[in-house]
């Protein structure tokens, strides 16, 4: 059995607490207590709470990338892989959260951070990466150029559906909003071919 590092314990604890209670409502002492590590372990691994937040944002995005990879690895075309983006969001929404699903952890984090902060910029970079994944998959498809059906414009519509559905799902605690948005995205792609 492998031993879990203090850093990993801290990230796991921070992830649970930041998601369940919010970043600003969660103090470093609560993270240390939940992780079951010494206070110096926090400062040996993270220079500040801000650095811990950045690591949480990166880890949360990596979780989603891993879910997307599992969902999309064996799919044969870009259309299916775009829909797998929604499936990976759905998988994330169905995790067993202590206080229930509260929407996208990255968007929740960004909402708590000041405009122009490094944390908000990190969330924006991660969301842009998801958009690029969608564009790359759409570029594999023979989209018609009618009505401006470019991969970038279609990706914009699809990402609005994606992010809107995850926000609505978190607010209403209706994770099925994501699957309904997936069906809408499926129709958008079908009409663009």
The pLDDT profile of the chain, 193 residues, written as one tens digit per residue, is 678 999 999 999 999 999 999 999 999 999 999 999 999 999 999 999 999 999 999 999 999 999 999 999 999 999 999 999 999 999 988 886 777 889 999 999 999 999 999 999 999 999 999 999 999 999 999 998 776 779 999 999 999 999 999 999 999 989 899 999 999 999 999 999 9
Cα-to-chain-centroid distance, residue 10: 20
CA dist 8 and 122 (Å) reads 20
Report the phi/psi class of residue 36: left, alpha or beta, with left for phi > 0 and alpha for psi in -120 to 50: left
3-state secondary structure of 57: helix
What's the pTM? Answer: 0.92
**DSSP 8-state symbol, 95:** S
For residue 24, which of 52, 3, 63 has the smallest C-alpha distance? 52
Asked if residues 11 and 59 have their Cβ atoms less than 8 Å apart, the reply is yes
- Count CB neighbours of 159 within 10 A: 19
Structural domains for the chain: 1-47 (1.10.10.60), 49-192 (1.10.357.10)
What span, in angstroms and rounded, lies between the C-alpha atoms of 123 and 144?
32
d(CA 191, CA 193): 6
User: Positive or negative, the Cα torsion across 163, 130, 144, 79?
Assistant: negative
Residues 6+ apart with CB under 8 A from 115: none
* Angstrom distance (rounded) from CA 60 to CA 111: 15
Identify the pLDDT of residue 1: 62
Q: What is the largest CA-CA distance in the chain?
A: 61
CB atoms within 10 A of CB 125: 12
């Amino acid at each position: 059995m492998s031993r879990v590092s203090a850093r990993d314990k801290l990230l796991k604890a921070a992830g649970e607490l930041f998601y369940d209670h919010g970043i600003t409502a969660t103090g470093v002492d609560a993270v240390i207590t939940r992780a079951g590590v010494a206070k110096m372990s926090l400062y040996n691994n993270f220079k500040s709470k801000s650095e811990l937040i950045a690591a949480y944002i990166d880890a949360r995005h990596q979780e989603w990338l891993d879910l997307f990879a599992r969902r999309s690895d064996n799919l044969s075309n870009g259309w299916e892989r775009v829909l797998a983006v929604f499936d990976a969001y759905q998988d994330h929404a169905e995790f067993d959260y202590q206080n229930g699903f509260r929407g996208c952890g990255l968007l929740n984090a960004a909402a708590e951070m000041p405009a122009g902060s490094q944390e908000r910029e990190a969330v924006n970079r991660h969301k842009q990466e998801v958009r690029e994944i969608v564009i790359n998959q759409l570029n594999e498809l023979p989209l018609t150029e009618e009505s401006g059906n470019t991969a970038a414009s279609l990706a914009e519509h699809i990402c609005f559906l994606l992010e809107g559905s995850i926000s609505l799902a978190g607010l209403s605690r209706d994770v099925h909003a994501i699957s309904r948005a997936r069906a809408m995205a499926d129709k958008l792609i079908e009409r663009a071919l």
